[in-house]
Amino acid sequence: MGLVVQKFGGTSVGTIERIKNTAKRVIAEKKKGNDVVVVVSAMGKTTDQLVSLAKELSPYPSKREMDMLLSTGEQVTISLLSIALAEAGFEAVSLTGWQAGILTENVHSNARILNIDQTNIRHHLIANRIIVVAGFQGVSENNEITTLGRGGSDTTAVALAAALHADKCMIYTDVTGVFTSDPRYIPTARKLGAISYDEMLELSNLGAGVLHSRAVEFAKNYNVPLEVCSSMVNEDGTFIEEEVQVEKSLIVRGVAFEDEITRITVFGLKDKLTNLSGIFTTLANKNINVDIIIQNQTDGENPYLSFTIKHEDLRDTIQLLESKQDELCFDHFEYESGLAKVSIVGSGMISNPGVAAKMFDCLTKNEIQIRMVSTSEIKVSTVLEESYMVKAAQLLHTAFGLDVVEQQV
Ligand code: ADP
Ligand code: ASP
Ligand code: MG
């Protein structure tokens, strides 16, 4: 007998019919003789609707109150699914994040899981109950309800799978697996049979919303066998694992993209070393994630610095830079919103020079201006105007041979 963690996203529990369908999948796993821990998201677009309600009252509601509000979404689903399971004759118990022992850092809206106290879950497992846990939420050491960031139910599932040494963690969603790019925007994207933890981590970090990046981090660090598959179609999904046989001709495995990027440029840095650490420490202390960083200095001139942030962090960033301008010793700063990041990812890049050149060539030939670039061993990212994002992604998808191959008859 094994232990399986199953996670169902918003669409998969979006209606009562779908909750019944989800209950069937849970029961099928239980009937195989496994212990089952289920993690669910809020129904359908509930989280977005709750955000909109708060925004009707205030443009910048407190993060603590937003966590209190958004965590209710998942709570609705856990009870409904447990009721459906009981109705089908299976003993189930719903647990909120704190009841499931999910302890997080004391940060609102984007907390990391620090530890999982398994006492309560183990107690219910011994009693042979199906456990239904609310995704996306935890509790801090100050007894505050916290949330893990949008899409964070994946992380709840994988963290639980790691802590409980589950035999597998299944992420059921509204697509049949991880594709070479987001199939909602790139019609020629195709499903990957398998992908390595490292490549998946890059894709998730670079905007592929199919898996929360911290979920992939947990899976990699604790070697959790992970599969992304459809909650509606019965077919194998995508396996995320340590080593994956790369299709020989494919250097790039996927194209990811992300909108709502803002570039900040800080001019006239007077004391290079202290400014750099000062600026980034100040931002990090406020939990503002900085992405691509470029620093430039030509002899005899004060250096300048550009970096990107998510647009939602712009207000806090402006406030911080304005209030600490003297302390951080710079002349002035500017920002540009309406940007996007388009990236190619693939572990085959390490041994294949010229990938970045091909990417820039493809974009430039199509008159798409590149504003910033960042590279690592297995990815190249470009920042460009938001309006070109999908076009650029499609062009790169085709240029790197990722399109669906027409079947020869
Ligand atoms: P869930 O509610 O099940 O967590 P999400 O909306 O968070 O579902 O994630 C699934 C969505 O991720 C898909 O509908 C798809 O549009 C998007 N997506 C983005 N990149 C990819 C990718 N590379 N492969 C598959 N889906 C992707
Ligand atoms: N309900 C949350 C969201 O919509 C968490 C999740 O679905 O993973 O972001
Ligand atoms: Mg999701």
pLDDT digits (tens, 9 = 90+) for 88-140: 999 999 999 999 999 999 999 999 999 999 999 999 999 999 999 999 999 99
Which residue is it, tokens 């958004």?
Answer: 70
Which CATH number do you get for residue 31? 3.40.1160.10
Report yes or no: 381 and 373 within 8 Å, Cβ to Cβ. Answer: yes
Structural domain includes residue 14:
yes
- 275 shares its domain with 365: yes
Residue where one domain finishes, among candidates 157, 174, 191: 174
Q: How many domains does the chain have?
A: 2
- In this structure, are 163 and 277 located in the same domain? no
**pLDDT category, 276, cuts 50, 70, 90?**
confident
Gap from CA of 277 to ligand 2 centroid (Å):
34
Q: Which of 141, 57, 65 is nearest to 109 (CA)?
A: 65
Structure tokens that stand for 250 in this block: 């494919």
How far apart are alpha carbons 300 and 115 in whole angstroms? 51
Range of the domain at 264: 255-399
Any idea which of 104-113, 307-316, 349-358 has the lowest mean pLDDT? 349-358
How much is the pLDDT for 247? 59
> Does residue 316 lie in a domain region?
yes
- Domain at 379, CATH number: 3.30.2130.10
Residue 193 lies in a domain: no
Q: Is pLDDT at 299 greater than 70 in this prediction?
A: no
> Is position 360 annotated in a ligand binding site?
no
The answer to whether 312 is a known ligand-binding residue is no
Residue 128 CA to ligand 3 centre (angstroms): 28
Ligand 2 atom closest to Cα of residue 154: 8
- Look at residue 67 and tell me if it is in a domain: yes
Between the alpha carbon of residue 126 and those of residues 27, 181, 249, the distances in Å are 17, 42, 50
Last residue of a domain, one of 174, 206, 239: 174
244-259 as b/e, with b when 16 or more CB fall inside 10 Å?
Answer: bebeeeebbbbbbbbb
Ligand 1 contacts (CB < 6 A) are 9-12, 41, 151, 173-175, 178-179, 181-184, 208-210, 254
pLDDT, position 273: 60
